[in-house]
Structure 1
Amino acid sequence: MSDAPFHSTVEDGLALLTVAGSGTGNALGGSFWEQLHAFMEGARRRDDIRAIALTGAGGTFSVGMDLRWYVVRLRRAQRSGNAAFMDEDVRLLQRAVSAVADCPKPVVALIEGECTGAALELAAACDIRYATRSARFALPEAELGIVADLGGLQRLPLLINQGHLRELAFTGRTVDAARALRIGLVNDLYPDATALRRAARELTDDLRRHPAHVMEGIKRTLDLVHQDGTRRGLDHCAHWNGVHTGPDGLSEAMAARLRRPAAPGADTHLRSTAAP
């Protein structure tokens, strides 16, 4: 197994990105964020790519932010005395997620198993979400005393109504696949990973029947009305977390979360993860 945070293949117009991340459960840390941004920027210039699918390795989309990785970053910032670290760092992560949303090619998330915290914010940046019946979703950033700040609170209202979103964000509760479909969080459910990939392939085949510039034009037109609000919201929550939580508070909350015993049968320390 490669140590790369994801691997990609391109076949018949479909670029498939399989996320491995930097920790158990495809946790999102390390070089994942920079490489995701670089891939999306490169994909916009490739004529052989008509659509992009994001999926996770090993039957899990992603448990979200790699807390172990991020705690190390926070402690380094504390030692350096860099008061602006949280604001600067979250904008780097926001840039990677926004590169998914801003990519002119249609992007589909193929979700198995857990899709939590930063992973749900990443899925919300995709144009379409397909999931297996085992998929489950949560936005538990409030457990760490922070506001979700990678775009979930800006993009999820375009998918689900305010009542469902506020319940997700206020409580951190897990939503199963059946409810996710019912509230519009996912487009459709499939029995397994093979069926998910088949659906992505069929979608790409449909897209290839139309000119690429038309697909880009549709996406740009749909996004245009919301872009200013999304940018303002991203700026607001980055500033809010820096002022109200700060590196010290977030480091302590993440360390406490990592010390918490995992539920029986759960993956170790990353069952509830959140964006910084």
Structure 2
Amino acid sequence: MSGLRIEEYPDRLVVTLDRPEKRNAIDADLVAELHGVCAELEARPRLLLLTGGTAGIFAGGADIGQLRDRGRLDALAAINAGVFARIRALPLPTVAAVDGPALGGGAELAYACDLRVCTARAFFGQPEVRLGIIAGAGATHRLPALVGEARAKELLFTGRRVDAAEALRIGLVNRVVEEPDGLLPSANELLDEMAKGSTLALRLTKLAVDAPPAAHPHLDLVSQAVLFEDEEKRRRMTEFLERRRSR
């Protein structure tokens, strides 16, 4: 049985984790399905909205039953880390819409997205050290980039949970909506704003922001050179000048 519900639109995919009986725990089957989503978005780039829906759960973490039985070769295979890195590297921006808990691997899945929107009842946490492992699917480097090294270390060392208000204050999420019914509209609103831009400019902007410091300013210059020759750039700028003249 599929662990994902996928809705296709011309400019985006809306992907909903759909294992409510397992609190959307991330198991090997779900990882395989997420790889399928990535393959689709790599072949035909579109925006991505990733959510657990509005039933009070985003993802309760990795499937502990499977995790308990994994050995060192499984760890080296980067089962969860590999698909989260692939989500992070998707050509166009991604938004995680989080309702309820995003814990362990579930939180790392949210961090892999470019932006995060959550409900007031959402919370995030990395309890891995209490289970005898590390947060090995991205939190050790993505969380410091989001909230700073010292705060990330506190959260990783203690397993303390972060509620929605704190998540907004420390920059872990971009928006908090009070009611669950407002979650997906708010996330789609963010994507709607992105969709107003040039797809190629959006793609190259993401590539530049995610690039290592050593790539700058060379990557910026090459990206701009490509865009300066793009016909859509000329069209958009012509329309802008015409609107300004008509005022």
Displacement, 1:226? 6.5
1:69 paired with 2:66, answer: yes
Deviates more, 1:177-186 or 1:6-15: 6-15
Matched with 1:30 is 28
Task: Please tell me the residue identity of whatever aligns with 2:100.
Answer: G
Structure 1 unaligned segments of length 5 or more: list them. 78-82, 229-276
Identity %: 30
User: Across the two proteins, how many residue pairs are aligned to each other?
Assistant: 214
Change (3 A) 1:150 1:226: farther
Distance 2:191 2:185 in 1: 10
SS in 1 for 2:43: coil
SS in 2 for 1:163: helix
Distance 1:30 1:85 in 2: 11
1:56 paired with 2:52, answer: yes
| Larger CA Rg, structure 1 vs 2 | 2
Distance 1:227 1:84 in 2: 32
Change (3 A) 1:203 1:164: same
Matched with 2:177 is 190
Distance 1:38 1:87 in 2: 21
Displacement, 1:227? 10
Distance 2:107 2:43 in 1: 26
Matched with 1:87 is 76
Displacement, 1:190? 0.4
Matched with 2:219 is none
Distance 1:211 1:218 in 2: 10
Distance 1:22 1:102 in 2: 27
Matched with 1:42 is 40
Change (3 A) 1:85 1:109: closer
Distance 1:30 1:44 in 2: 21
Displacement, 1:34? 1.4
Distance 2:2 2:63 in 1: 15
Contact 1:21 1:32 in 2 (8 A): no
Matched with 2:2 is 4
Displacement, 1:193? 3.0
Contact 1:20 1:27 in 2 (8 A): no
Displacement, 1:197? 1.1
Distance 2:165 2:81 in 1: 29
Return the match for 1:19 from 9, 17, 20: 17
Contact 2:5 2:16 in 1 (8 A): yes
Change (3 A) 1:190 1:227: farther
Task: Please tell me the residue identity of whatever aligns with 1:206.
Answer: E
Distance 1:149 1:63 in 2: 16
Task: Please tell me the residue identity of whatever aligns with 2:162.
Answer: V
Return the match for 2:197 from 203, 210, 213: 210
Contact 1:5 1:22 in 2 (8 A): no
